[in-house]
Structure 1
Amino acid sequence: MARYADDLSLAHMLADTADSISMARFRALDLHVESKPDLTPVTDADTAVERAVRSTLARTRPRDGVLGEEYGATAPAAGSGSRQWVIDPIDGTKNFVRGVPIWGTLIALMEGDQPVVGLVSAPALGRRWWAATGLGAFAGRHQAAATPIRVSGVSRLADASFCYSSLNGWEESGRLDGILDIIRASWRNRAYGDFYGYMLVAEGAVDAMVEPELSLWDLAALIPIVTEAGGTFTDLAGRPGPAGGSAVASNGKLHQDLLDRLGWPTGR
């Protein structure tokens, strides 16, 4: 499993590059913002970060595939296996545009359909989270200032701090009643949003985070961090991995209760 150590070090180098670009554009008066076809915003920082990351990967991992939110997919070289880097240049673009510091660059490496390396860098928060399969999960300002992280031991929803994404999305998914049930049953609830709720789960500060609809670049980096920290990460149907396009992340002890309340018990 130590074979991912070099890939994790590369992910940190990519994040250093991304941070320098994104922080230079954060709260910039001349920030350029456009709307994509799905009406979500994209800034010149999003595109500049992804171009820079792709350029470095082309030099350092030329045989690996790349999937990015802004520029799509580049297939792995023939005979190189199924390694693919997955990049979200700025997760939380709406926060970025409004000057809210909760945004970050998400970098993952997948082998086949499984994320094996994940890194989230939130430079405006001065914090980074990372993990690789078999190497554990860590947080800190950078790789040389690493602290191991671990999910909580809370075993009852009545004692749990619960995090969720926008209620509008849950209403559109037809599962608003399930979310409201969890909110009423939990000790505390907050909508931190985007990557941040998942990182709080991995750190043990929050006990669960759920979202109804996500793309691969939203998910891939988060999964190794939560699972290497001892947590459980599935879709709404209880299936592990990112393929389902939704997320239920927890400390593991609460997971089945969450799935049941959302109407998707394990094995259904």
Structure 2
Amino acid sequence: MSHPDIFQKELETAFGALLQASKLSQLIISSQDKGTITKDDFSPVTIADFAIQALLISTFKDAFPEDTFVGEEDAADLRANEALMSRVWDLLNTIAQDEDTQRGACKLPQTKDQMCDLIDQAGTSHPGGAGSGRVWVFDPIDGTKTYLRGELYAINIGLIVDGKQTLGVVGCPNLSLHHKGPLRNSDIDPEGKGCIVYAIKGHGAFARSLQSGSQDVKQLPKQPATRDLSFVTCTGLVDSALDGVHEVVAERLGVAFPGSDLVPWVLRWAAMALGIGNTTVWVYKRRDRFAKSWDHSGAMLLYEETGGKITDVHGKDIDLSAGRKLSANFGFVAAPVAAHDKVLQAVHDVLKEQGRDAFLQ
């Protein structure tokens, strides 16, 4: 089947860009030196993060010059380190003569300065609310920690229009479209094909192979109202999650924990859209910690379009107009619509019983 005949240019642009971005990421995945630096929040970033963000912005700016672009990275580290900048530039140019690049799958920057300017443009822009128009949000590699280990990661492209998710396209370069059962970071596609999961607001969610010319599009089914709950979470981010809460919530709900255990947030939303789990809860370790727009914008739409409901820990809708950080919300509670109230109540009950009422304020 095929998706509805809307957003055709946007989707074709995203599919081509994701194919080439995946090639870039895979080119250095086996390299001993991935050009890794550590950001102020102690999260790693590689030359692939910079190269893919430059590719995405260059491609989408060429296709949609009037739109706004938001990305995770800025180019300050590249401008301060000529050797690092050259490595990013060289990586981009490895696909310059690629057959898919030549046929227009992506648009590459023409100079190093342009590359840095494009990265900076998205690295300093902010999503907006009503009247802000079309804003593309990019996460060049979500799950850099797992990517560095040769495990699962994702590339996120989200289109927000006037502060609302409209389109979400997620590239999963090493996730099998046919994976069954709980998913772990190490469960890479044995066939090496990867997949794309995407959604159009009001028209459903779809999945297809990552490969060029793929025609195997399938519409993803809605979450069954009577299906048992199945968790998707992450047990390895001890610096992010409030300890001793998530497993207790799962126990209260009678759900196996951890279920699917994944570091990348984008991949968690994609996995739930694919039916690999249907519930996630996330209470941050600190009340002043907030999610980042590029980890969720567009990707959440995948799950919502398969019948999921997403709020924060307080039961509020996620406000994507808040800025680069989702500072109007705290944490996440996501479950099938029919079960969401029950899951949210379990979170509140556990926090109150543990004397952690401050996280509900």
- What TM-score, normalized by structure 1, do the two folds share? 0.85
Quote the Cα distance in structure 2 between the aligned partners of 1:18 and 1:255: 35
Q: Which moved more, 1:186-195 or 1:50-59?
A: 186-195
Partner of 1:27: 30
Question: Which among 91, 99, 103 is matched to residue 150 of structure 2?
Answer: 99
1:132 corresponds to which residue?
A: 200
Instruction: Say whether the 8 Å CA contact 2:69–2:137 is kept in structure 1.
Output: yes
* Residue equivalent to 1:56: 59
What is the aligned partner in structure 2 of residue 67 from structure 1? 70
The answer to whether residue 161 in structure 2 is matched with residue 111 in structure 1 is yes
Q: Give the aligned partner of residue 84 of structure 1.
A: 135
SS for the counterpart of 2:54 is helix
| 1: CA distance, partners of 2:330 / 2:144 | 19
Structure 1: distance between partners of 2:337 and 2:277: 12
Q: Deviations over 1:54-111 (max 9, x none)?
A: 11122111111111001213479xxx952110000000000011121x1010000101
Say if 2:265 is the partner of 1:192: no
Provide the aligned length of Structure 1 versus Structure 2. 256
- Are the equivalent residues in 1 in contact too, given 2:250–2:256 (CA < 8 A)? no
- 2:78 aligned residue: none
- Measured after TM superposition, the shift of residue 188 of structure 1 is 2.0
Structure 1 outlier segments of 4+, above 4 Å? none
Root-mean-square deviation (CA, aligned residues, Å) is 2.5
> Does the 8 A contact of 2:13 with 2:59 survive in 1?
no
Q: Secondary structure of 1:204's partner? A: coil
Contact persistence 1:17–1:53 (CA under 8 A):
no
Structure 2 unpaired stretches of 5+: 75-122, 176-193, 284-289, 321-325, 350-360
Matched, 1:165 2:234: yes
Q: Secondary structure of the equivalent of 1:23?
A: helix
Shift of 1:42: 0.3
Question: Does the Cα contact within 8 Å between 1:128 and 1:141 map onto a contact in 2?
Answer: yes
Determine if contact 1:2/1:134 at 8 Å carries over to the other structure: no
Superposed CA offset, 1:88-135 (max 9, x none): 0000000011121x1010000101211111011111221210011133
Q: Deviations over 1:2-43 (max 9, x none)?
A: 643332222222212211211112122231111001110000
Query: Does structure 2 conserve the Cα–Cα contact (< 8 Å) formed by 1:65 and 1:73?
Result: no
Aligned partners of 2:41 and 2:281: how far apart in 1?
A: 22
Structure 1 CA distance for aligned equivalents of residues 46 and 30 of structure 2: 12
Moved more, 189-198 or 41-50: 189-198
Alpha carbons of 1:204 and 1:160: their partners in 2 closer, same or farther (altered >3 Å)? same
- Bigger mean CA offset, 232-241 vs 214-223: 232-241
What secondary structure, in the 3-state scheme, does the structure 1 residue paired with 2:231 have? Answer: strand
Contact preservation (8 Å) 1:198, 1:249: no
| Kept in 2: contact 1:151–1:207 (CA 8 A) | no
Give 1 or 2 for the bigger CA radius of gyration. Answer: 2
SS in 2 for 1:6: helix
Structure 1: which amino acid aligns with 2:63? T
The yes-or-no answer on 1:248 pairing with 2:319 is: no
Structure 2: how far apart are the matches of 1:203 and 1:262? Answer: 25
Q: Does the aligned pair in 1 maintain the 2:204–2:306 contact within 8 Å?
A: yes
Q: CA deviation at 1:154?
A: 5.4
Per the normalisation by structure 2, the TM-score is 0.65
Distance, in Å, in 1 between the alignment partners of 2:229 and 2:126 is 42
Q: Is the CA contact 2:70–2:138 (under 8 Å) kept in the aligned structure 1?
A: yes
**3-state SS of the aligned residue for 1:263?**
helix
CA distance in 1, matches of 2:282, 2:215: 32
When residues 65 and 188 of structure 1 are mapped into structure 2, their CA distance, relative to the original with a 3 A threshold, is: same
1:159-203 per-position Cα deviation (integer Å, ceiling 9, x unaligned): 32112233623326xxx4354232453332222232232222212
| Matching residue of 2:105 | none
The percentage of aligned residue pairs carrying the same residue is 27
Q: Which residue of 1 aligns with 2:107?
A: none
Aligned partner of 2:173: which letter? P
Unaligned runs of 5+ in 1: none
